[in-house]
Amino acid sequence: MQNNQIVIAVFGGTGFLGRNLIKKLTELDYRVKVATRNPHTKGYFLKPLGNPGYVELFKTNIFNTEEVKSVLKGCDFAINLCGILFETSKQKFDYVHAKFPNLLSKLCEELGIKKLVHISSLGVKEYHTSKYMESKLQGEKNIKDNFKPSIILRPGICFGPDDSFFNRFASIAEVSPFLPLIGGGKQKFSPIYVQDVAKAIVRALEVNNTRPKIFELGGPENFTFKELMEILLKEIKKKRFLIPIPFGLAKFQSFFLQFMPNPLLTPDQVELLKYSNVVSGEYPTLKDLGITGIPIQNVLPKYIYRFRTGGQFNR
């Protein structure tokens, strides 16, 4: 079957990873159905990423069985990118990370979808103290119980233009004389280029598996949080104090910060920061999908320069 005869349903396609993935899929001539809450305001920019008719947008409530089913009908594959970093009055970890994967995987089985690729998170494990990670683990369990030809990908922190990690801390560095190191900044992370994650999803569609399979996706190098902040400050040519903040104080501050419309820190995120976020070695990795990860130093300077005084002219 030619790629232009293959239809892929993507849930959560309007986010940072989704935009990069859909561009990659259309470049390979796949046809894509994107489920989104509001196609007129959140998905319109996706249609020009492919040839006319290759990207279709569907107004979808992911908790409405019939609406999800209508997106899946006629599709060969399904990809779930849905995820939230903090809870609101309308969006809860359990619903987005556990109950929706449960519904989606059951419908994939019912409708004869060939493969489901699900994006989880690096660091998922039993007895994690974070509600975010707890819900991610339950989502994985639901998928493995319901749909055998599934691939679960666990990426680390994704970086690239428009990321929510380096861009956020660079924004803080513009107005603050210091950057916080929660817990001393000793936790280790394995940041991965968003394009590498998009490639991994495409490769996962080609994996021949009859049982659920998990891949851990980390970048080529591990860094402590402090080292990542030092790399960032070097690239934006700013000197800022790196101030260690004990977990207890961070938890107290996060109680108030969580009520912001887009909170800088929540109590659950403090729990996340108590753990390192690196490849465990217990599962296949990026290399097993035939991908060599691109280092931070090859990508970060190409987009973070806008936070320098003088922007691209300050080299």
For 213-258, how does the pLDDT look when each residue is reduced to its tens digit (9 = 90+)?
999 999 999 999 999 999 999 999 999 999 999 999 999 999 999 9
Q: Above 90 in pLDDT, residue 51?
A: no
Structure tokens at 271: 């729990």
Integer Cα distance of 179 and 91 in angstroms: 29
How high is the pLDDT of residue 49?
80
* 80 close to 117: Cβ distance less than 8 angstroms: yes
Strand order in the sheet with 115-119: 55-59, 31-36, 7-11, 77-80, 115-119, 150-155, 213-217
Q: Above 70 in pLDDT, residue 313?
A: no
Integer Cα distance of 57 and 55 in angstroms: 7
Which domains does the chain show, CATH number per domain?
3-163+190-220+277-293 (3.40.50.720)
Integer Cα distance of 189 and 206 in angstroms: 28
Structure tokens at 129: 């103290």
Q: Which H/E stretch holds residue 256?
A: helix 247-257
Terminal alpha carbon distance of the chain = 49
Structure tokens at 121: 């998170």
Integer Cα distance of 208 and 174 in angstroms: 48
Q: Which H/E stretch holds residue 42?
A: helix 39-42
For 113-138, how does the pLDDT look when each residue is reduced to its tens digit (9 = 90+)?
999 999 999 999 999 999 999 999 99
State the average pLDDT for the chain: 94
How high is the pLDDT of residue 46?
85
pTM as predicted = 0.95
Average pLDDT over residues 205-210: 94
The closest of 219, 238, 214 to 309, measured between CA atoms, is: 238
* 152 close to 215: Cβ distance less than 8 angstroms: yes
Structure tokens at 73: 């009908």
Q: Above 80 in pLDDT, residue 41?
A: no
Average pLDDT over residues 147-168: 96
Determine which of 80-94, 113-127, 128-142, 299-313 has the lowest per-residue pLDDT on average. Answer: 299-313
